Structure 1
Amino acid sequence: MEKKLPKEGLAIIHLAGKAHDTNKISDSEVYFKINRDLTIELFNTFLQSNVRDFIYFSSVKAVADKVDKFLDENIAGNPQTPYGKSKLEAEQYLLKQLLPEGKRLFIIRPCMIHGPGNKGNLNLLYKVVEKGIPWFLAKFHNDRSFLSIDNLSFLLERMINDQQISSGIYNFADDETLSTNELVELISKGLGKKYDYCSFQFF
Structure 2
Amino acid sequence: MILVTGATGFVGRALVEKLALDRLPVRACVRRSAVTMPAGVETAHIEGLSTEMDWTTALEGVSTVVHAAARVHVMDDKAADPLAEFRRVNVAGTLHLASQAAAAGVSRFVFVSSIKVNGEATESGRTFSADDIPAPLDAYGISKMEAEQGLRELSSLTGMEVVIIRPPLVYGPGVKANFQAMMSWLNRGIPLPLGAIHNARSLVAVDNLVALIATCITHPAAANQTLLVSDGEDLSTTQLLQRMGRALGRPARLIPVPPSLLRIGATVVGKPAIAQRLCGSLQVDIAKTKALLAWTPPVSVDEGLRKAAEGFRRETSI
TM-score of the two chains, using structure 1 as the length reference: 0.89
Task: For residues 86-105 of structure 1, give each alpha carbon's deviation from its aligned partner in whole angstroms, at most 9, with x where no partner exists.
Answer: 1111111111231545x310
Which AA in structure 2 matches 1:163?
Answer: P
Residue 83 of structure 1 is aligned with which of 140, 165, 178? 140
Residue aligning to 2:176 = 119
| Distance in structure 2 (CA, Å) of the matches to 1:194 and 1:6 | 49
| Distance in structure 2 (CA, Å) of the matches to 1:156 and 1:99 | 24
1:52 aligns with 2:102: no
Which AA in structure 2 matches 1:14?
Answer: H
SS at match of 1:17: coil
1:181 positional shift: 1.2
Unaligned runs of 5+ in 2: 1-52, 259-318
Which one has a larger percent strand, Structure 1 or Structure 2? Answer: 1
Residue aligning to 2:91 = 36
Task: For residues 50-105 of structure 1, give each alpha carbon's deviation from its aligned partner in whole angstroms, at most 9, with x where no partner exists.
Answer: 2221011111112312222300111111222211111111111111231545x310
Which AA in structure 2 matches 1:34?
Answer: V
1:114–1:147 Cα contact (<8 Å) kept: yes
Question: Which moves more between the two structures, 3-12 or 126-135?
Answer: 3-12
1:202 positional shift: 4.1
Residue aligning to 1:7 = 60
Question: Which moves more between the two structures, 185-194 or 142-151?
Answer: 185-194
Alpha-carbon spacing, 1:2–1:96, altered in 2? closer, same or farther (3 Å): closer
- How many residues matched? 200
Residue aligning to 1:151 = 208
| Distance in structure 2 (CA, Å) of the matches to 1:152 and 1:99 | 29
1:158 positional shift: 1.4
1:47–1:99 Cα contact (<8 Å) kept: no
1:22 aligns with 2:75: yes
Residue 166 of structure 1 is aligned with which of 204, 223, 231? 223
2:189–2:252 Cα contact (<8 Å) kept: no
2:110–2:217 Cα contact (<8 Å) kept: no
Unaligned runs of 5+ in 1: none
| Distance in structure 1 (CA, Å) of the matches to 2:54 and 2:141 | 30
2:161–2:224 Cα contact (<8 Å) kept: yes
| Distance in structure 1 (CA, Å) of the matches to 2:166 and 2:181 | 23
| Distance in structure 2 (CA, Å) of the matches to 1:58 and 1:194 | 34
Which AA in structure 2 matches 1:12?
Answer: V
Which one has a larger percent helix, Structure 1 or Structure 2? Answer: 2
1:10–1:160 Cα contact (<8 Å) kept: no
1:23 positional shift: 3.1
Task: For residues 2-27 of structure 1, give each alpha carbon's deviation from its aligned partner in whole angstroms, at most 9, with x where no partner exists.
Answer: 43243332311111111223233112
Which AA in structure 2 matches 1:8?
Answer: G
TM-score of the two chains, using structure 2 as the length reference: 0.59
More contact order relative to length (CA 8 Å, sep ≥ 6): 1
Identity %: 27
Task: For residues 86-142 of structure 1, give each alpha carbon's deviation from its aligned partner in whole angstroms, at most 9, with x where no partner exists.
Answer: 1111111111231545x3101111111111001122112111211212221211211
